[in-house]
Amino acid sequence: MKQTIVVIIEHLGGQINPVSHELVTCAERLRQNTAAAVKAVILDVDPAKLAREMADTWGLEVIAVRISQLTSYNGEIYKSVLADLLRELKAAYVCAAHSSQGMDFAPALAVELNAACITGVEDILEVENRTCFARSIFGAKAVAHVRPEKDLSILTIQPGMFRPQKPDKPVYGSVTNRSFKCESLKTRSRGIKEAEADMTGITEAGVIVSAGQGLGDKDNLGLIYQLAALFAKSAVAGSRIVCDLGWLEYRCQVGVTGATVSPQLYIACGISGAVQHVMGMRNSEFIVAINKDPAAAIFQVADICIVEDLTTFIPALIEVYEKTKSDGL
């Protein structure tokens, strides 16, 4: 039987998590170096609709596993069901999200299958004709190249590292329906409570306006929100120090210990450019940095560098925008 690369589709609230599309792109990269086929697996109480969505987006074979007990995520169920499926599929690689869910079941699954487990994968490399995986270590101050020595590797993929490249033409995949019943569970999930959000989540935003310690004072956050409000599908984010100070909630943090993002536009306001922050936003399509320090490290990754105090520049920018808008330009 031909070996497979298996993508674990992550979903919540009846919606596909955008990182699932990145997982498919990662799997396709892996497929170029092997003779394996790419298949996807989704586990849910009623996975048919989401399975069809992924199948027809990517032209994949999606295995839709119906599990009556899976009313909300349960790591024990994921480990048990996926272990049986992966043995059957003769999987060579498994691509899961580097998320709270992925980091919950992936290590346990690797132990169950005596597989390699490589977390936080950021890139795929060929070293001496062997597939290796790049991941940040020591707080993103170094990058390790990890080569698995097992027949099966369980990978958790860092969001924002593999930009989805969907087919240009309509494609139609297939859905295989399966059902499992898990007996004698040792754990029971009581559900998932999501944090309230007052705007687009930072991982889904097309434009992110991010604040650093150069903001100077929490009262200046109003400028960041005003700037973000000029764009559709925008979000406000911040560096770790801003969140540690309590100016923003930790769900807004970008960086190694926060979220990894890849928006179309990232505006860094008063952010120095520590490597731990840059690792979380370096894959943004276009980066604008505003900092009064001309030697700020953030300018090394920015497409446009603005050397100015943000409390002076942002009001001036908003004023010009409003004037242009009123003039109908």
Pairing label, strands 207-211, 234-238: parallel
Fold for 207-326, please state it.
Answer: Rossmann fold (3.40.50)
**Residues 182 and 80 sit within 8 Å (Cβ to Cβ):** yes
Which residue, among 131, 128, 162, has the nearest Cα to 36 in the 3D structure? 131
- For the stretch 166-208, pLDDT in tens is 888 888 899 999 998 877 777 777 776 665 544 457 888 899 9
* CA 268/CA 54 separation, integer angstroms: 34
CATH topology agreement for domains 4-180 and 207-326:
yes
Which residue, among 111, 136, 105, 170, has the nearest Cα to 260 in the 3D structure? 136
Mean pLDDT of the chain: 89
For the question of whether the overall pTM of this predicted structure is more than 0.85, the answer is: no
Give yes or no for residue 316 having a pLDDT over 90.
yes
Q: What is the mean pLDDT of residues 240-266?
A: 91
Q: Which amino acid is located at 308 in the chain?
A: E
Q: What is the mean pLDDT of residues 57-74?
A: 91
Give yes or no for residue 38 having a pLDDT over 80.
yes
Tokens for 90, please give them: 């003769």
The structural domains of the chain, with segments of one domain joined by +, span 4-180, 207-326
* CA 16/CA 10 separation, integer angstroms: 6
Strand ranges (E), 197-277: 207-211, 234-238, 265-269
**Residues 203 and 194 sit within 8 Å (Cβ to Cβ):** no
For 142, other C-beta atoms within 10 Å of its C-beta total: 9
Residues 4-180, CATH architecture: 3-Layer(aba) Sandwich (3.40)
Give yes or no for residue 114 having a pLDDT over 50.
yes
Lowest-pLDDT choice from 79-93, 105-119, 195-209, 224-238? 195-209
Q: What is the mean pLDDT of residues 265-294?
A: 93
Number of H helices, E strands in the chain: 8, 17
pLDDT for 199 equals 44
